[in-house]
Amino acid sequence: MADQHPPQTPVQAQRAQEAAGRYTRAGLWLQVILLVLLALEPWLVSSFRVMDVAAKVMIFAVLVASYDLLLGYTGIFSLAHAMFFGLGAYSLALIIHHAGAPLWYHLPLAALLATGLAVLVSLVVAFFSLRLKALFFVVMTLALAQFADILSIQWHSLTRGEDGVSFKLPGLLDVGWSGGKLWGLTVNGRLLTYYIVLAAAALLFVGLVRFVRSPAGRVLKSIRDNEQRATALGYKTFNYQILANVFGAVVASLCGVLYALWVRFVGPESVMSTAIMLNILLMLIIGGMGTLYGSIVGAAFILVAESWLADGLRAVKVFLPDLMVLQRLADRWILYFGVLFVLVVIFFPKGLVGSAREIAARRRARVRE
């Protein structure tokens, strides 16, 4: 097939290279700025509610990115991803709860247990489900997720059922510990936990980015686009799909450990329910599939709206008390949030980050011309 674009002149090639370099540097600077803002957030805004939302955005951004590895980069539509998140959260909670007293080695032990369970369960899911296609695979993963949810409720002697598990963290991470002031901010267990979550989330996200940019990641994208072609080229597509499934499950389970570390409470409704899986899907669609970075935008969009949309509407009502529609909006904010989500899908079918990348690609194409 003939190339649709004429050969570039040296000047055009130089301009295209400079444009690509500018976009790369801009993306790098945005990442650095975001990381710095998250690191300085406790000093910039002295509010635990803001810190809580920031920590959850970091955790769910990595969780959604790990799901993007499956759906956006490999084309695997699984509804059992939240199950691995729950396995990780329960790993930490149950180790500390059944041990009786929190100790430092419980944290790495929980990470190791979560990783082992994720590898084992994801391999079982892959071998028994990945050979099924389309709707059959989706139904199988949904059944597994529902089984895990029911098990976490019914196995009361282990998980405490619907009551959930509350636990404390050891030493410096305990809520009651305080180490005095640092630049006007109280250093305590919550602050140290926040920075552990920040460091771990950054490392996990970088690991995902490196994975999708590796040769294995490029093979996964070729499988997503045309599995038959990838097979014809000699790639063992089933093995690569297993690799993506296992790697995504491990990252999701470690996100569960971070969530339990931050919240210090684990229950079926908070880590195993279908609502968690639906939130992951919503965050991914809003941010953009196949982008990884869209997970940050999607997680921030959903969690900030859940935390402050209703309060913001009520605050506006204080200044405009005669507008009863604002009270109705505040009382039924979930309904209108759903309408907002539909509008985002209609006007940004590739997600916010995906649409931004498409606009940038068009500009680079005009530069080449």
| pLDDT band with cut points at 50, 70 and 90 for residue 106 | very high
Where are the chain's structural domains? 10-368
| pLDDT band with cut points at 50, 70 and 90 for residue 133 | low
Distance CA(175)–CA(205), nearest Å, equals 27
Mean pLDDT rounded to a whole number for the chain? 83
Residue 328: closest CA among 313, 315, 338, 306: 313
Against a cut of 0.85, is the pTM above it? yes
Average pLDDT of the residues in 37-59: 90
| pLDDT band with cut points at 50, 70 and 90 for residue 324 | low
| pLDDT band with cut points at 50, 70 and 90 for residue 207 | very high
| pLDDT band with cut points at 50, 70 and 90 for residue 115 | very high
Distance CA(261)–CA(264), nearest Å, equals 6
| pLDDT band with cut points at 50, 70 and 90 for residue 12 | very low
| pLDDT band with cut points at 50, 70 and 90 for residue 27 | low
**Range 10-368 classified under CATH 1.10.3470:** yes
Burial of 39 by CB count in 10 Å (0-12 exposed, 13-18 middle, 19+ buried)? middle
Residue 302 main-chain phi, psi, to 5 deg: -70, -50
